[in-house]
Chain A
Amino acid sequence: MANRNKHKRSTEIHLGFQIAPMIDVVFVIMLFFMVMAGQVQKEQELKLKLPGRAVASEEVEAIEETQIRVLESGDVLLNDEPMGAPGDAKLVEMTATLIRLKQASDDARSKVVCTIVADELAPFQRVVDVLNSLSVARIANVTFEVPAE
Chain B
Amino acid sequence: MAGSVGGGNGSEPEFQVAPMIDVLLVLLIFFMSITTDQILKVDKSITLPLAPDAKQRKVDLQNQAVVNIDWLAAENRAVVKFGQQVCDPMEQVAEFITPMKTANPKLQIIVRSDGDTPAIEVQKVIEQIAAGGVDDISLSGINRK
Shortest B32–chain A CB gap in Å is 11
Beyond A26-B24, A128-B49, A132-B141, whether A45 also contacts B110 by CB under 8 A is yes
Q: How far is the CA of A138 from the CA of B55 in the complex (A)?
A: 11
Contact, CB under 8 Å: B49 / A124 = yes
Count residues of A near B (Cβ-Cβ below 8 Å). Answer: 42
Beyond A37-B34, A128-B49, whether A46 also contacts B118 by CB under 8 A is no
The listed residue (A37, A43, A118, A136) touching B140 by CB distance below 8 A is A43
Contact, CB under 8 Å: B141 / A70 = no
Shortest B25–chain A CB gap in Å is 12
Contact, CB under 8 Å: B119 / A33 = no
The listed residue (B24, B130, B138, B143) touching A46 by CB distance below 8 A is B138
Contact, CB under 8 Å: B55 / A135 = yes
A29-57 contact mask (Cβ, 8 Å, vs B): 1 or 0:
01001000101111111111110100000
Residues from chain A with a CB closer than 8 A to the CB of B116 are 123-125
Residues from chain A with a CB closer than 8 A to the CB of B58 are 45
Residues from chain B with a CB closer than 8 A to the CB of A128 are 49-51, 115, 139, 141
Q: How far is the CA of A40 from the CA of B143 in the complex (A)?
A: 9
Contact, CB under 8 Å: A123 / B115 = yes
Best-surrounded residue of B57, B58, B113, B118 (most CB of chain A within 10 A): B118
**Cβ of A89 < 8 Å from any Cβ of B?**
yes
The listed residue (A49, A89, A122) touching B135 by CB distance below 8 A is A49
Contact, CB under 8 Å: A40 / B130 = no
Residues from chain B with a CB closer than 8 A to the CB of A33 are 27, 31
B74-90 contact mask (Cβ, 8 Å, vs A): 1 or 0:
00000000000000000
Q: Which of A112-149 contact B (CB under 8 A)?
A: 118-125, 127-129, 131-133, 135-136, 144-146
Q: Which of B30-87 contact A (CB under 8 A)?
A: 31, 34-36, 38, 41-42, 48-58
Nearest chain A residue, comparing its CB with the CB of B28: A33
Count residues of B near A (Cβ-Cβ below 8 Å). Answer: 49
Beyond A37-B31, A41-B142, A45-B138, whether A135 also contacts B119 by CB under 8 A is no
10 tightest Cβ-Cβ pairs between the two chains A and B: A125-B115, A44-B54, A118-B119, A146-B123, A128-B49, A120-B120, A45-B138, A125-B49, A45-B57, A124-B117
Which A residues fall within an 8 A CB radius of B? 16-17, 19, 22, 26, 30, 33, 37, 39-50, 52, 70, 89, 118-125, 127-129, 131-133, 135-136, 144-146
Question: Could you pull out 26 A-B pairs where Cβ atoms are within 8 angstroms?
Answer: A19-B13, A22-B20, A33-B31, A39-B144, A42-B36, A43-B48, A43-B141, A44-B54, A44-B142, A46-B51, A46-B55, A46-B140, A46-B141, A50-B126, A70-B119, A120-B120, A121-B118, A121-B119, A121-B120, A124-B121, A125-B115, A128-B139, A128-B141, A129-B51, A135-B51, A144-B126
